[in-house]
Amino acid sequence: MHPASSLSPRRRSGASIALVLSLIALALGLLTPTPASAATLQEVTGFGSNPGNLQMFRYVPDGLPTGRPLVVALHGCTQSASAFDDETGWTKWASAWGFALVLPQQKSANNANACFNWFQASDFSRGQGEALSIKQMVDKMAADYGTAPSRVYVTGLSAGGAMTSAMAAAYPEVFSGAAVVAGLPFDCARSVTDALSCMSPGKDLTPKQWGDKVRAADSGYSGSYPTVSVWQGSQDTTVAPMNMTELVQQWTDVHGTDAAADVSDSVQGYPHKVYQDSAGHPAVESYSITGMSHGQPVDPGTGPAQCGTASQYLPDANICASYQIGQDWGLTSTDGGGSLPAPTGLAATASTGTSVSLSWNAVAGAASYRVHRGGTEVGSPTATTFTDSGLASGTTYSYTVAAVDGSGAVGAPSAAVQAATTGAAHQCYTDNNYNQVAAGRAHQSLGTVYANGSNQNMGLYNLFVTHTLEETSPGYLVVADSGCPS
């Protein structure tokens, strides 16, 4: 996006020099170089008629087999493909989990700020403009790499997030999932002036009015729609936070469910809601990043769930959005190229302080199953139940399961399900703000630190301010400088 300050050509871009320098100073010494890889971001030409006049870039890990997933990642205003691949973490996960990545790039000739033209019907409609160009890129990847047609996903930031909504609406048969980061509902605007109003203060329509816009995008379509996750900073002054509510209303209506969350919990201390379809599967999810301004959250570091490079519109918020999105899409499960479908009905049936029990529906032709926790295989049962043990109490884990046929080929993974062990952490931690963030007990936004869960202001992000945090429930911490229970 630019992303942030300018989804449209008339929004001003940039941040203060002081803010940029402070972010750079905070990042110095914290970023670890990514291991070398022969795979690089490459431009592709001749991918179709390209009516939107876009550029196509792709990142394909070395030796990627056929039948693997594809993620389309759409940058924000003033950004480019090369500024949105490693920085967001997507290339890290493509290499680690084995999927292809396409990064469409806008041209300044189409938009002065390099924003995707999400507010022009000629570019967001099926069979036209930029939307069709992006669809042609997906077709090119299918022809070149045999992309699994049931495992194509799209995500984007700000203007790219708004275009993500458009792709999910215009081509619902192409995408299995869509993740809108600091973006807008589909068909929210049809001019630059309208776009500015849509961004802030936002538009308040009924769920049916929003849903009708999606259904009108392909009026003859009668199939299923992509699952949708919505990410939004609570302090976003560029794309008003109310847009998260409107997006949830739009897509829950499309999926035929209401806008009352079936699950309300937290992920890395941030409010998370799940809206399930009639079969009990996640249809829409929302992640509200407390205290964050406009951008896509990253979590620089070498940890198994960390990613990205903090910069303008990519704030270090102690959560890696691309990691969590990939988890939700089941990208963490290794697929052996088998033809068996993804198991349905994966659910946590019981939990203790150290274990989680799972069950799922049988897949015809399956000889066994592979269970993955956070992308790591933890079991291969022949039954449709499994208990994962030896876990930490009061902790949330993410699981997927895939069916294995008689030849050992692994089929498509299920949608991810989150399960928590019982027991309250209720521990106390005294440390400086920098270390509290590094340990995952707090997060920082624009140089200010907030406790995870409670979002209490802890002061400046540095080594000199010290606080005691009490974890009163898993992932929920409060400032307890006056004393902490033993």
Query: DSSP of 92-115, one letter per residue?
Result: HHHHHHT-EEEEEE--TTT-TT--
- Residues 376-402, buried b or exposed e (16+ Cβ, 10 A)? eebbeeeebebebeebeebbbbbbbbb
Query: DSSP of 128-166, one letter per residue?
Result: SHHHHHHHHHHHHHHHHH---TT-EEEEEETHHHHHHHH
Main-chain phi, psi angles of 47, to 5 degrees = -95, 5
Q: Is the dihedral of CA 64, 70, 76, 78 positive or negative?
A: positive
Does the active-site annotation cover 158?
yes
Three state DSSP letters for 41-57: CEEECCCCCCCCCCEEE
CA–CA separation, 24 and 52 (whole Å): 35
Long-range contacts of 23-29 (CB under 8 A, 24+ apart): 23/310, 23/311, 23/312, 23/447, 26/310, 26/316, 26/444, 26/447, 26/461, 27/300, 27/309, 27/310, 27/311, 27/316
Secondary structure class of 180 (helix, strand, coil): strand
Active-site annotation holder among 5, 8, 95, 158: 158
Bridge partners (DSSP) listed for residue 102: 58, 72
Q: Where are the beta strands (DSSP E) in 197-344?
A: 227-233, 263-267, 270-276, 282-289
Query: DSSP of 347-368, one letter per residue?
Result: EEEEE-SS-EEEE----TT-SE
Size of the chain, expressed as the number of residues it contains? 486
Main-chain phi, psi angles of 227, to 5 degrees = -70, 150
- Residue written as tokens 């790591």? 376
Pair of tokens at residue 381 = 């049962």
Q: State how far Cα 453 lies from the chain centre.
A: 20
Main-chain phi, psi angles of 149, to 5 degrees = -65, -25
Secondary structure class of 255 (helix, strand, coil): coil
Which are the catalytic amino acids? 158
